[in-house]
Amino acid sequence: MVKSAFWKYNLFSPETKPLTDEITKNCLDDKYFDYVTSETYCDYNKFELCANVNALMGCQEFYSTPSCEALAENVAICKPVLQDYLDYLNGSGSC
């Protein structure tokens, strides 16, 4: 179902493909279970965290509004840390 929705997003908005590719690669097929949340029994929260982190990692461009520009600056600072975390979850790094 998620893959089908992503296919539709990418068809009508090709600019979303880097985001959906990151989420597909790092969250689907139960990979989101590896994400740590304070609510250990809520799978939805783990998927939401995974999708949000990977959407930020896959985002290539932000709108040029003041709030989006601030978000882009924060993402630029956080991307290396998030990448280390993703590498750790994928078994190719340490935290």
Q: How many CA atoms lie within 13 A of 9 on its CB side?
A: 15
Tokens 């992503």 locate to 6
Domain boundaries, the chain: 2-89
User: With bands split at pLDDT 50, 70 and 90, how would you rate the model's confidence at 1?
Assistant: low
pLDDT, tens digit, for every residue of 3-44?
787 788 778 777 778 878 888 888 888 888 888 877 777 788
Is residue 10 within 8 Å of 17, Cβ to Cβ?
Answer: yes
Say what the pTM is.
0.66
